[in-house]
Each structure stands twice: as structure tokens, then as C-alpha cells.
Amino acid sequence: TNVTVDTWSAAWDQADVTDVQIAGNDTKLYTNLVYAGIEFTSQTIDATGMTHFHMDIWTPDDTSAPAEFRIKLVDFGADGAWSGGDDVEHELTFNDSSNPPLVTAEWICFDIPLSDFTGLTTTGHLAQLIISSTPNTVYIDNIYFYYSSTGTDDEFAVVNPFVLHQNYPNPFNPVTSIKFSLHEKDHVRIEIYNIRGERISTLVDGEMDPAFHTI
């Protein structure tokens, strides 16, 4: 469920943000980015039922080492206030050798298990998302929390064993990310066709484990 974002650039951060559109899609463009505070304090997020955090970024800047992009989530605790004594937070760092790696001039899809934010021991009152970056120009899109599970054998009977999600960006040139979910181990074949119906590429052709995959 959407929540109100109070600010995409808090008064205490070092960043400039503007609203832009890419192929008709609303996107945030950060320039002069050192660190930016994205706050949703008036309506905190209860992510206790979620398993993952997602964010897409694109930068034209050099992403080779020592360049880094960092994502921090902050939970204000039950009192809903900063410095109330029950705040928790955790920051993850990504570079050109991380998973996913930082790359230049390509969309990077961060699908991060919330369990990776090990210091984030509570997620019932998330109030801040803080990004910091060595690349100083960064486009940001598709920020959300979601639930993903391979489930049990009983659950397999009531869900589609294979789900192909919308690729992003779409339309695209030259790169897009294609996501799909497997609820059981199976042989997967994904092919790309042009508008004339001609096969131009086979991206996947083999057995894959149950999981949420991105190619």
C-alpha cells in the first residue's frame, strides 16, 4: 500500500532532487548527491509482513572502485520518534564487485532480503530511507517492499509454479531486467523475440531452483 513520502531530500542532507520522466515514467533524479534522506515520518511503514526491499537506480557516473552506493533503512520504533531509545537501523554498501554490482549507464535492480539488514531488528515503524553515493548523479525509481516465499508443497497447489513479472524498463534500449518466480525446481527457457516474431536471443535454457530470479 502506498504511503506518503514527506520529503525526497531532507533539510539535513547533501543532495538536490528533481522530478523527471523517462518514457512517461515518473523518476527521481538526484544530483550533487552525497547523502539524501527520504522520509516517511508522518505515515511510517509497517514492513513486518514483507521479506524484501526493492529499488532501481541508474547513473551515468564512473562506478569503478572505490565508487560506492549505500542504502540505509531506519525504524523509529513504537514511539514513532527519532532518538526515542528504540530506534534501529542498518546500512548496506554496494560497489562494482557486490551483488548486484554497480555499473555505469545501466539500470541496477536491488532486490534485497530484509534479513540482510541485520541491524534492523524491527521493521514495524520504518521512517527513513537514506541513500549515499560516490556517483553524484543517480536516477531512482520503483521503491517498494514486498513479500516473496517459495512456500510449502501445500502452497504449490494453489499458486502458479512459474510467474513472469513485468520487465523494467519497458520500452528499453539496450538493457532491461526480467524477473520471474519459480515455486518449484524446473526447466526454464526464456527467449527474446522482436516485433516481427523472430527469435533474437535465448537468455535462459536450463534447470533452475525455486526462487525469485532476475536476469
Q: Residue-wise over 145-171: b if at least 16 C-beta within 10 A, else e?
A: beeeeeeeeeeeeeeeeeeeeebbbee
* Run of H or E including 156: helix 153-156
pLDDT of residue 193: 84
- DSSP label of 168: B
Rg (CA), the chain: 19
Segment 40-57 mean pLDDT: 93
Give the pLDDT of residue 156. 34
Is residue 132 pLDDT above 90, yes or no?
yes
For residues 36-46, average pLDDT = 95
- 89-92 long-range Cβ contacts below 8 angstroms, 24+ apart: 89/119, 89/120, 89/128, 90/117, 90/118, 90/119, 90/120, 91/130, 92/116, 92/117
Under DSSP, the state recorded for 115 is: G
In this predicted model, what pLDDT tens digit does every residue of 140-177 receive, in sequence order?
999 999 988 654 333 333 345 667 776 777 777 778 88
Neighbours of 126 (CB within 10 A): 26
